Structure 1
Amino acid sequence: MTVTVASHLEGGPEAAEFAARLSASVARRIDRLEVSADAIDFAFSTAVLALQAHCVAEPEADTLESWQATVNAMQLGSALFAVTGTSDGTVECFINGRMRTLKAIGSQPYADAGNWLLAFWLAVICREQRRMTELCEIPLESLRSPEGEYEELYYHWVDVQQTYWLRRPGLVDKLIAAIEASDPEVARRLPQDLLQGLIYPPINLFYNFVHKNEEGFGPALAEALNLHKGYWTLTEERTEDIDGAVALGPLAMACLAYDGKLPVGVESPFIPKYLLEHGWLGEFPT
């Protein structure tokens, strides 16, 4: 039986117009990167916002515009780590329909574990295996925030995904370490609603995926989406925030499960159908 998890956000003409304006802004920011890549973090965050906005307007992501927004976000996420991975020369990045030559800018504080997770999940959603590999080859230590912004949990979680994708040894032990690090008594600096609503659920989904839990993955996904919804509806301010439109972590884990032939068993605007089932894959170069 398929479970449905409804969204708290509603689309309409205004949502579509807002999404279109954001996509136009993203296109302008992408063009400016060829002059200077210093603002690539803002381009990336705007692109992720545009993706979310399109999925409010198009809950199944069933239009080419929603796929373009997803691809732009994915390409910018990869480009962010490409230009910050070296301080010498230029790097070639395919973004928004063509190859672009961007000047390397060296290590930046925003090339961190949080943005790595977003970039990797977007690559998973777009089934961009080359980009997934390139991201997973980034040394874990280079993602550490100089200010110690992130709990160790984030680095354990990045390590788990890099280990899985690159088929390195020790996956089970690293996954256990990530689960233990997500204990509220360990990750004390994290707000409990953030930890329980957004951070832990994708780890639990990955655990079910790795263990090929055919009976358990669907219920775990439904729980993850309900927790996502609970987090984004906890306050009135959050309820109106389009950042809650798509559950990117759970969606990425669901894409792994879908491609691995595990029963997903959940329908929800939080995991748009055409992104989950790669309905637009191959529509244009990515």
Structure 2
Amino acid sequence: MTASVHRHAMPGGPDAETFAERVHQHLVKDIDCLEESTDVIDSTFGTALLTLHARCVIDPRAAMVETWEATVNAMQVGSALFAVTGVSEGTVECRINRKLRALPAVGPLPTADAGTWLTAFWLAVICRDQTRMTQLCEIPLDRLRAPEGQYDEYIYHWVDVLQTYWLQRPGLVDKLIATIEASNPEVVQVAPRDLLQGILYPPINLFYHFVRKDEAGFSPALADALKLHKAYWTLNEDREADIDGSIALGPLAIACLAHDGEIPIEVESDYLPKHLLQRIWLGEFPT
């Protein structure tokens, strides 16, 4: 039986359409400027994510090509961020917004850290871009470390787990156990408990069910993850009005891995855009 997790009310109507188009046009200008300078590519990535969320507000099933384009653009900018911060000289060729671009290297940026890496990796998974997944997973963990006190240690274990899984390195089970133990609310000191339990931990739990090929347990865990996502984004009026809650990015990415691994997905939700989950737009244009 398929479970349904209804998305909380999002701002809709003509204003939402206008906003989505406005941020898209802003993003296009920012992307074009990257060929001159990548000093604020992290800001461009933020605009790309905002565009994706704005599109999902008005197109929750991702049934429109514009939403797929927003997803791909966000993935491309996120991956480019790590490409240009990995070198300090010359240019890096990156495809963004349907065009190959020679982006100037910028060298290390403080925002090219483990938290941003997770978002970029989720987007690459959702877009099924295995080349970018591999490129992200080959980034040394030390390069992703933020100043002490910005993240709990579990996040580095978590990145290590995902890199180990995708690159088929040894030690996956032990690393996953270490991640689960380090993300215990009694151990975590930096992340607020509601953020940890509602947003940060559910993808780890979902991945645990995925790597065990737990068909019976995956969909219930996915439904729980979406319910926790909803609870987090409806805790107060400010969060409820924030379009960042329009999709559950981490759970969606793990669900994409499960879908492609032929684990049945018995959950329907606007937090989990159907056309992204089922890779219906794949191959629409070069990514």
What interval of TM-score do these two structures reach, taking the shorter chain for normalisation? over 0.9
The yes-or-no answer on 1:245 pairing with 2:231 is no
CA RMSD, aligned part only? Answer: 0.8
**Residue 147 of structure 1: how far off its partner (Å):** 4.3
The residue identity in structure 1 corresponding to 2:40 is A
Matches within 5 A, 1:258-277: 258-277=259-278
Match of 1:234 in 2: 235
SS class of match (2:22): helix
The yes-or-no answer on 1:2 pairing with 2:6 is no
Match of 2:78 in 1: 77
Match of 1:119 in 2: 120
Match of 1:54 in 2: 55
Partners of 2:242 and 2:40 in 1: CA distance: 23
CA contact (8 A) 1:218 1:263 kept: yes
**Residue 15 of structure 1: how far off its partner (Å):** 1.4
CA contact (8 A) 2:5 2:227 kept: yes
The yes-or-no answer on 1:132 pairing with 2:156 is no
**Residue 56 of structure 1: how far off its partner (Å):** 0.5
Partners of 1:25 and 1:210 in 2: CA distance: 40
**Residue 9 of structure 1: how far off its partner (Å):** 3.0
The yes-or-no answer on 1:214 pairing with 2:215 is yes
Give a deviation string over 1:203-225, Cα, whole Å, max 9, x none: 00000000000000000000000
CA contact (8 A) 1:9 1:245 kept: no
Match of 1:108 in 2: 109
Partners of 1:19 and 1:7 in 2: CA distance: 19
Taking structure 1 as the reference length, the TM-score comes to: 0.99
- Per mean C-alpha deviation after superposition, the further-off stretch among 217-226 and 16-25 is 16-25
Partners of 1:177 and 1:225 in 2: CA distance: 24
SS class of match (2:102): strand
Partners of 2:6 and 2:178 in 1: CA distance: 33
Match of 1:280 in 2: 281
Partners of 1:285 and 1:14 in 2: CA distance: 31
SS class of match (1:99): strand
Match of 1:36 in 2: 37
CA contact (8 A) 2:150 2:190 kept: no
Partners of 1:41 and 1:148 in 2: CA distance: 21
The residue identity in structure 2 corresponding to 1:281 is L
The residue identity in structure 2 corresponding to 1:50 is T
- Per mean C-alpha deviation after superposition, the further-off stretch among 159-168 and 4-13 is 4-13
CA contact (8 A) 2:5 2:226 kept: yes
Partners of 1:231 and 1:94 in 2: CA distance: 35
Give a deviation string over 1:81-121, Cα, whole Å, max 9, x none: 00000101110010001100111010110000011000000
CA contact (8 A) 1:41 1:110 kept: yes
- Per mean C-alpha deviation after superposition, the further-off stretch among 128-137 and 263-272 is 263-272
The residue identity in structure 2 corresponding to 1:212 is K
Give a deviation string over 1:125-157, Cα, whole Å, max 9, x none: 000000000000000010001344111111011
SS class of match (1:101): strand
**Residue 189 of structure 1: how far off its partner (Å):** 2.1
**Residue 18 of structure 1: how far off its partner (Å):** 1.1
Partners of 2:147 and 2:174 in 1: CA distance: 27
Of all paired residues, the percent bearing the same amino acid is 65
Give a deviation string over 1:45-92, Cα, whole Å, max 9, x none: 110111011001001010010000000000000000000001011100
The residue identity in structure 2 corresponding to 1:205 is L
Partners of 1:178 and 1:55 in 2: CA distance: 31
Unaligned runs of 5+ in 2: none
Partners of 1:177 and 1:219 in 2: CA distance: 23
**Residue 190 of structure 1: how far off its partner (Å):** 1.6
CA contact (8 A) 2:137 2:166 kept: yes
Partners of 2:222 and 2:53 in 1: CA distance: 19
- The number of residue pairs the alignment matches comes to 286
Match of 1:189 in 2: 190
The yes-or-no answer on 1:22 pairing with 2:23 is yes
Matches within 5 A, 1:150-189: 150-189=151-190
Taking structure 2 as the reference length, the TM-score comes to: 0.98
